[in-house]
Amino acid sequence: MNATWHILGAGAIGNLWACHLISAGFPVSLILRSEEKLSQFNEQGGLLLQDTLYPASAELADHNSQISQLLITTKAQDTQIAFNSIRQRISDTARVIVLQNGMGSQQWITDQLPDADIVWASTTDGVWLEEPFKLIHAGEGYTRLGNPDKDSYWVEELGRGFLKIELDDDIKQTLWCKLAINCAINPLTANYQCQNGELIKNPDYLSEMAQICHEVEAVANAAGIQLFKEPLIKHACDVAELTANNYSSMMQDVRLGRTTEIDAITGYLCKLAEQYAIPTPTNLKYLRKIKKTHECI
């Protein structure tokens, strides 16, 4: 019998991965935030993905079972509180996957569990919750996973499910590329309350995006990270064009009055820039704007 995968962060990506892991033959338990969520889940009896019911189970953080396989899909800013609520239950040598936007919390988790086998991941799958525990897999992408320090062959077992999985021997670089695109698109769309495509139509927004990209490249360069083969602005424009009618995740958070991932995205970049003494005025401008307007700081 395969060991259970526990999922911390039962949003759209966490739920999609729960279905994936079930399809790969693993028992799955979602760690939910409240009794209310738990009864809502139990009423449905599992996760619904495109009319198929996936028989996951669910529990609260204070359940007493040990956790030997853990997938963390919380929003970056919720990670520490959520992780600390289950810390006592995680076995020292657990297998852990950290699948999140932004940077910083992957390393934080790795530091908390020095003997665990931890892989970091990045995905291009597009998914949203039509209702709680009812999913729409809107865009089929792929998920890259890799341990930044060693080989973790168990990741291959995850390839048995329906999602596309790729082993990544340079996951830091992959996460950096995602971070760079998120720095270019997310704060601008959140600030100007627009769709991604507007950034390439409006010359003022485009010029801000070019500045942001220029600064991100300088910081990546100082950190010894090779981003894309072509200039970042070219890549960011391509993504904005491909996702022209979409609202970025940060824009959606702002619209729904939720805290955003700005600290894990632009905030991470600006902190690193400070360490390398690289000026990042445009990134700092949007970091402050988003925090001031939407995070009450």
CB of 209 to ligand KPL, least distance (A): 11
| Residue 21 to residue 10: CA distance in whole angstroms | 14
Q: Does 216 bind ligand KPL (CB under 6 A)?
A: no
Residue 245 phi/psi, 5-degree rounding, is: -90, 0
Q: Does 185 bind ligand KPL (CB under 6 A)?
A: yes
* Total of residues contacting ligand KPL (CB under 6 A): 11
Q: Does 175 bind ligand KPL (CB under 6 A)?
A: no
Q: Does 209 bind ligand KPL (CB under 6 A)?
A: no
| Residue 287 to residue 284: CA distance in whole angstroms | 5
CB of 169 to ligand KPL, least distance (A): 23
Strands 165-167 and 126-131: unpaired
When binding is defined by CB under 6 A, the residue of 249, 260, 282, 283 that contacts ligand KPL is 249
Q: Does 182 bind ligand KPL (CB under 6 A)?
A: yes
Strands 52-54 and 47-49: antiparallel
Residues 72-101 that bind ligand KPL (CB under 6 A): 101
- Structure tokens of 214? 């220029």
Q: Does 239 bind ligand KPL (CB under 6 A)?
A: yes
Interacting span for ligand KPL (CB under 6 A) from 13-21, 28-36, 177-185, 270-278: 177-185
When binding is defined by CB under 6 A, the residue of 243, 258, 272, 288 that contacts ligand KPL is 243
Q: Of 68, 54, 67, nearest to 24 (Cα)?
A: 54
- A 10 A CB-CB count for 9 gives 23
Q: For the chain, how many residues are written?
A: 297
3-state secondary structure of 90: strand
Instruction: Give residues in contact with ligand KPL (CB under 6 A).
Output: 101, 181-182, 185-186, 196, 239, 243, 246, 248-249
